[in-house]
Structure 1
Amino acid sequence: MAQQAYLEETDNGGSGPERRGSRFRRLLDRLTGPWRGDPRIWRRGLVLAALALVLALIMLMHSRIPNAIGNLGSLTETFLPWLGLLVPVLLVLAFVRKSATALIAVILPAVVWLNLFGGLLTDKAGAGGDLTVATHNVNADNPDPSETARDVAASGADVVALEELTSAAVPTYEKALAGTYEYHSVQGTVGLWSKYPLSGVGPVDIKLGWTRAMRATVTTPEGQVAFYVAHLPSVRVKMEAGFTARQRDKSADALGEAIAHEPLERVVLLGDLNGTMNDRALNAVTSQLRSTQGAAGSGFGFSWPASFPMARIDQILVKGVEPESSWTLPETGSDHLPVAARLKVDTSS
């Protein structure tokens, strides 16, 4: 009797997994019903299939795209995650076109994108750490430096780096941050504020002719850490020249050389690098240091432009310390978002 009741229930729509499976089959029938028996489903959409394969190749072989013409490779790598938006577009077009060939082809770029960026979609933040750091390009044209300084100090960071400081605004930032940070140094257009003593402070030559990078030793309760602050030159996209980044690339190489000669084992780089971790032009830096966002963040952590972030060009990179969490801070009066991270300096335990 129980078996008969079960069969009757199943015949009437059923319940549980059987019913859900039946709903899925009905939905699939609605989507694919008009295609069945149509031999053209394999011949249609060949152009869409080709576009899907090209998209997959671009993402898979992005490091092979040459920079000889307008730094096209670096431009592609800067906005590489956004290429994933083309996958659902191609998927919809494949359905509209009723092309089985295109549908199968779209699977390839989807898999490549997930392989590249799927790990960023999970929350890797932990609760540990003994040092909080933050960095912010405050924008030379910031209309309210005092408020921006207070916003950054409110993050609870123990060490703060600021970039794009003007000589006129420096006293404002110094006054606003004095109550939170006992120690600080400004070198050219970058500065470092710390709750812990600074030593070995000085500019870092990144081949610009003026100072946009510095180094200092911060003596934390867990030991000494070398801090670098850098603001690499801006890049531009011009119709006649493409992605102009030659000066940025030259400065990145110089910064990487300075870090390579750093005597301390524990290193933190804070700053606006005007490039993402995918950009090969930053290899001199990124080959030595790891990103806190990639190791302990949630999502992509885009920081620029503040109104609609599209790329993470503001970076916290480390060596010899363990990233525990990484995040972006709320918008200030700048065109960049501040970024912060919690680090474990004492990695012996």
Structure 2
Amino acid sequence: MTVEAPLTTSEALPRALDDRPRRRFDPRNANGRWIALASFLYAIALLAHPLVPNGARNSGSLVDTFLPWSWLAIPLLLLLALVRRAPLALIGALLPGLAWLGLFGGSLIDKRGADGELTVVSHNIGAENPDPAGTARTLAGTGAQVIAVQELSTTAREEFQGALPARYRHHTVQGGVGLWSTYPMTAPEPVDIMPWPRALRATLATPKGPVTVFVAHLASVRVTSESGFTTDRRDQAADLLARAVDRDPAAKVLVVGDFNGTPDDRGLAPLLDGMTSAQEVAGDGFGFSWPARFALARIDHILARGLRPTSADTLPPTGSDHLPVVASFHL
């Protein structure tokens, strides 16, 4: 029989440590932490998007434009959390969802009320529109007292005008923008926002007093690998239009048209400042208006000062690559 000598403390401690049950590395837990971290950073990025600098490539405006679509990453984060069965990741994935709702949750509510006393429809009818007469009938079919159009080509002008009912006998066309009204119109004039006519101003004599209407088609924007998001000309036009609107003494003002920018785009901030967006306060959903086949952004707007919007919406497609937008107001 062999008797082993008792172990000393220095010998027993390492052996006791070796005999402990070892915890195996669980990749699911590690991945869960990474997913939670990614979700947290994504939520911070959503809330901090105004801090993205514009710089020479207008990156900030590009982020602003497509920010409503940032929700697409949230289901992916939730799916990864469920696949990994990681509670921490699941909780973390809810953070960007809450951030997104904080930014855009109000757009998901139907805020449309009863029709108001003044209905306005605005539409970039498209220079290549194959059926300007049909488009005119569609816009008139809304019963709107005011019809504003952009990108009205000289060849389509007569056909568009001829298809409108006689009640729209008051009208003005300045370059490619036009305004038709059932109310008498005074002082129609172009507004200088670009080297060629792209905006107009006129005053309508409604039963409850004058309403001044600005119709504008701001410069187009492009996304290129060389220049990034090219918005400089549009931003300059928006600034000039904003100055004209600010100087206008009228108590009731409408500013409508194709702004080639979304309401979140910081480049349009001077124009949106002090104005009420009909879609924001009285619409249903985001009111995306372009492109017509699968609308991704709201670049067509109806803004007001001194008028209360009661409803706002988009209309079905015409022959244009834009959807028409319509809004009603209390005078």
TM-score past 0.5 threshold? yes
SS at 1:268 equivalent: strand
1:111 to 88, 98, 104: 98
> Are 2:241 and 1:255 equivalent residues in the alignment?
yes
Matched, 1:293 2:275: no
- Aligned with 1:162 (options 149, 159, 166): 149
Q: 2:37 aligns with which of 46, 50, 54?
A: 50
- 1:268 alignment partner in structure 2: 254
Corresponding residue to 1:72 among 41, 59, 63: 59
Mapping of 1:100-179 within 5 angstroms?
Answer: 100-179=87-166
Matches of 1:249 and 1:62, distance apart in 2: 19
Unmatched segments (≥5 aa) in structure 1:
1-37
Native 8 Å contact 1:70 1:244 kept in 2: yes
Relative to structure 1, the CA distance from residue 69 to residue 59 in structure 2 (aligned partners, 3 Å threshold; closer, same or farther) is farther
Q: Which residue of structure 2 lines up, in the alignment, with residue 219 of structure 1?
A: 205
CA shift for structure 1 position 97: 2.1
Which one has the largest radius of gyration?
2
Query: Could you tell me which of 81, 85, 90 is aligned with 2:72?
Result: 85
2:257 maps to a residue whose letter is: G
- Structure 1, residues 68-103: CA drift from partner, whole Å, max 9, x if none? 042111111111110012111110011112222321
Aligned equivalents of 2:166, 2:41: Cα separation in 1: 55
Partner of 2:171: 184
| Aligned residue pairs, count | 308
| TM superposition shift of 1:51 | 2.6
Amino acid aligned to 2:99: V
How much is the aligned-residue C-alpha RMSD, in angstroms? 1.5
State, as a whole percentage, how many aligned pairs show the same letter.
50
In structure 2, distance between residues paired with 1:266 and 1:39: 65
Counterpart CA distance in 1 for 2:310 and 2:43 is: 33
Q: Which residue of 2 aligns with 1:196?
A: 183
Match of 1:318 among 304, 311, 327: 304
5+ residue gaps, structure 2: 1-24
Q: Can you list the C-alpha shifts for 1:92-149, whole angstroms capped at 9, x where unaligned?
A: 0111122223212112111111111111111111114100000000000111111111
Q: Over residues 282-327 of structure 1, what are the superposed CA-to-partner deviations in whole Å (9 max), with x where a residue is unaligned?
A: 0111112111011001111110000000110000011100000001
Task: List structure 1 runs of 4+ shifted beyond 3 angstroms.
Answer: 38-42
Match among 319, 322, 327 for residue 336 of structure 1: 322
Please report the TM-score for the alignment, with normalisation by the length of structure 1.
Answer: 0.85
**TM-score normalized by structure 2?**
0.90
SS in 1 for 2:313: strand
Q: Distance in 1 between matches of 2:235 and 2:212?
A: 23
Contact residue 140 and residue 166 of structure 1 kept, 8 A:
yes
Find out whether 1:302 has 2:288 as its counterpart: yes
Larger deviation: 121-130 or 158-167?
Answer: 121-130
Q: Equivalent residue for 1:235?
A: 221
User: Is the CA contact (8 Å cut-off) linking 2:140 and 2:165 kept in structure 1?
Assistant: no
1:20-39 maps to which residues of 2 (within 5 A)?
none
What's 1:11 paired with?
Answer: none
